[in-house]
Amino acid sequence: MNDDTPEILPPKLDLPALDKNVFEFRALKNSFLTVFVWVIGILASVPLFSVIFMLIVEGGSRLDLEAVTAIPPAGFETGGGFGNAILGTLIMVAIASAISIPIGIFAALYLSILEPSSKVATISRFLSKVLTGFPSILAGVFVYAVIVITTGTYSAWAGGVALAVLMLPTVTLAAEEAMRQVPQKMKDAAYGMGCTKTQVIFKIVLPTALPGILTGVILAVAGAAGESAPLLFTALFSNYYMSELAEPTASLSILIYNFSGMPFENQIELAWSASLVLVFLVLFFNILARVVGRSKFRD
Amino acid sequence: MTTKSDMGEFIAKAYQPKGPVVLDCQVKNIYYGDFRAVRDTHIPIEKNKVTGFIGPSGCGKSTVLRSMNRMNDLIESFRFDGSIHYHNNDIYNKKIDPVVVRRYIGMVFQLPNPFSMSIYDNVAFGLRLNRFQGDEEEMVVQALKRAAIWDDVKDKLKNSGLSLSGGQQQRLCIARAIATEPDVLLMDEPCSALDPIATRQVEELMIELKQHYSVALVTHNMQQATRVADVTAFLGVDISQGGRTGYLVEMDDTKKVFEDPQQELTQQYVRGEFS
C-alpha cells in the first residue's frame, strides 16, 4: 500500500430526517382521520344530548313537589301535577315484573339446563326471539281482547299483563344466555360434591348467573316503563289516584301523549316535566343494571 | 398367567390386594352409545393408598375413574356393565342414589373448578350441603390446612376463589373436596393444568392425604405415578375390535410395574415407546 494513495473514507451516511413532520402525507392522513372520527362521534351523540338538554330546560322549570304529587289539572286550571301517573307506571311495571320475571327465569332454566335441545325448547327459543321484535301496540290489542273485553273494564291489571307480554321474551332470553354461560366445570364440581340437580340449579347456576339475569330483567323493566302503546287500550288513563287495580289507571307515557296535544300552556309544561321524570326513571334502571351486572367474584 | 375372555380377548391377571379394599371396581363393559369405551377392567382401590391409573390417551382411565362416583351418569349415552362395590353396596345397584355416592366418594377434576364464591364459601359449600351441625369454621380451616393452602389464603378468605392462581385453585378444590371428610378421593389428572412447582405441591399433598383418605389418581405423567402411587394400574387400548376400547393390561405395586413389568405392552409404555 502506497502512502500517496488517498485514504478511502466511508461515504457519509445519508440519514433520513427522524424529526416529526406533520406535513408528511401519512401524518396528514392520520390527523385527518382522527379529527373525522371525533366529529362523527360527536354528531352521533348530538340527538341524545339535545333531547336530554331540551327536557331539562323545558321540563326542569315545572319539576317541583307539586308536579310529582298532585293530580292532573283540568282545562284552564293552573298548577297540578302527575303524581297519579308516576304511581300508575310504577304499579303496572311491578305487576308486569311479578308476572314475567318468575315465568321468564323458569323458562330460561328449561331452555338452558333441563332440555336445551328438545323440540319444545327450540321452538320456544325461536318464538321468544320473534317476540322481542313484536310491535308493542299488538301486545296492547291482544290484552285488550283477552282481558279488557272479558272483564269489561280498563284496569291496571290489564296494563301490567300487556307490559309483561313485552318483558317476557327479553327476560327469558337474557336469563337463558346468563345461565348458559355458567361453566360446565362448575356444574361438574357441584355434582361431584353430591348435589342433586335442584341443588346445582339453586346453589350454583342461579347465583353464578344472577348478575346477567338481573341485567336482563332491569333492562326489560326500563323498556316497559317507557312503553305507551300497550297501555292505550289496556290501562287507558285516569285523572285521579287509583283506588283499586281494577279501574282505568294513569301512566306517565299516556299522560305525556295526552297533555302534549292539549292547547293549554300548563298541560304542555307538565308534559315536559313528566317526560323528564320518565327519562330519569329509565336512566335509573339502566344505571342499576350496569351496577348489578358486575359480579363480586369474577376471576 | 393371563386368561382370555369369551370373545377371545386378553384379560389381565387379577391384582391381589395386600390391604383392605374400599372400592372394588369390576368393569365388564362401559359404553358411550354403541361405542365400547372400556372392557374387562378390575381395579380394587385399597384403603389409605394412592392407586395410580396410567395408560395412553383414549385408554379409558378417566372413564373408569368417573364411573367410580357415577359422574358419568351425567352423560346421557353412558352405559355401565359390571359392578363397583363400596362397603358391600354395589353403587350401580338401582336402589343406590348417585347423589349420596358422590358425597362419600369425592372428586378433584382436571381443570381447577372453584365456584364463583369466596374462598371460605367454596370450602364450606359441601358442609352446608350436608347441613353440617358442628363448628363450620373449624372444619373449613382444617380442610384448608390439610390441602396445604391455609398459609396462602388465611388473610383473604373473603376474596373470590377465582382470584387465586391455578395451583392455588386446585388446592382449594382439594380442600373443598375433603372438607366433608369423604372416604375416597378420585383425582382426574389434577396436575395436568399446573406448573411444575404447583404440581410438586399437589403431589406432596396427595402423599399427605392418603393418611386420611384413599386416593385414586389418573395421571398422564409416568414420573408422577412413580412418585406418588403405591399401586399402579396400566390400561391399554385395544384396536382389534375396530373401535378404541380400553382395558386393564397390568396392575401391581408401582415399583413392580415400572421395574419389572410382566406384559410386553407395559414394558413398551414405561420405557416411553408410545404414549
Domain ranges (residues) in chain B: 3-270
- Give me the residue from B71, B104, B162 closest to A299, CB to CB: B162
* pLDDT exceeds 50 at position A248: yes
* pLDDT exceeds 50 at position A57: yes
Residues in contact with A210: Cβ distance below 8 Å, sequence separation at least 6, in sequence order: A178, A295
- Rounded Cα–Cα distance for residues B43 and B27 (Å): 8
Q: Residue for cell digits 393390561?
A: B249
**Residue A244 domain-assigned?**
yes
Q: What is the CATH number of the domain that holds A151?
A: 1.10.3720.10
**Residue A51 domain-assigned?**
no
Cell numbers that stand for A266 in this block: 300548563
Range of the domain at A186: 84-249+276-292
Mean per-residue pLDDT over chain A, rounded: 88
Q: What is the number of other CB atoms lying within 10 angstroms of the CB of residue B43?
A: 24
Residue of A nearest to B71 (CA): A192
Q: Identify the pLDDT of residue A178.
A: 94
**From residue B199, how far is each of B123, B168, B192 by CA, in Å?**
21, 11, 8
E strands along chain B, which residues? 3-4, 10-11, 21-32, 35-46, 50-54, 78-86, 89-90, 105-108, 184-188, 214-218, 231-238, 245-253
**Residue A262 domain-assigned?**
no
* pLDDT exceeds 50 at position A183: yes
Distance in Å, alpha carbon of A192 to nearest chain B alpha carbon: 6
pLDDT along chain B (275 residues), means of 10: 62 88 93 92 94 91 93 91 90 88 91 93 92 90 91 93 91 93 92 87 90 92 93 87 84 94 91 79
Interchain CB distance below 8 Å, A195 and B74: no
CA angle A25, A31, A36 (to 5 degrees): 125
Residue B95 CA to chain centroid, in angstroms?
A: 24
The 10s digit of each residue's pLDDT in A249-281 is: 999 999 999 998 888 888 899 999 999 999 989
Number of domains in chain A: 1
Which of A193, A199, A202 best probes binding to B when mutated, by most B CB atoms within 10 angstroms?
Answer: A193
A212 chain-B contacts, CB cut-off 8 A: none
Minimal CA–CA distance to A137: which of A284, A253, A271? A253
pLDDT class of A293 with cuts at 50, 70, 90: confident
Interchain CB distance below 8 Å, B106 and A192: yes
CA angle A107, A110, A113 (to 5 degrees): 135
Q: Class assignment of domain B3-270?
A: alpha beta
- Give me the residue from A193, A297, A298 closest to B129, CB to CB: A193
**Residue A46 domain-assigned?**
no
- Give me the residue from B102, B117, B173 closest to A194, CB to CB: B102
For B264, phi and psi rounded to 5 degrees?
-55, -45
pLDDT class of A169 with cuts at 50, 70, 90: very high
Q: Is the pTM of this model over 0.95?
A: no
Q: Identify the pLDDT of residue A1.
A: 47
Q: Note whether A231 and A257 are within 8 A (CB).
A: no
**Residue A182 domain-assigned?**
yes
Interchain CB distance below 8 Å, A189 and B115: yes
Residue of A nearest to B178 (CA): A193
- Rounded Cα–Cα distance for residues B81 and A40 (Å): 68
Classified as helix, coil or strand, B21 is: strand
- Give me the residue from A193, A196, A297 closest to B125, CB to CB: A193
Minimal CA–CA distance to A204: which of B126, B27, B209? B126
Q: What is the number of other CB atoms lying within 10 angstroms of the CB of residue B197?
A: 9
Q: Identify the pLDDT of residue A238.
A: 87
Interchain CB distance below 8 Å, A188 and B113: yes
- Rounded Cα–Cα distance for residues B73 and B94 (Å): 13
Mean pLDDT, range A153-161, rounded to an integer: 93
**Residue A280 domain-assigned?**
yes
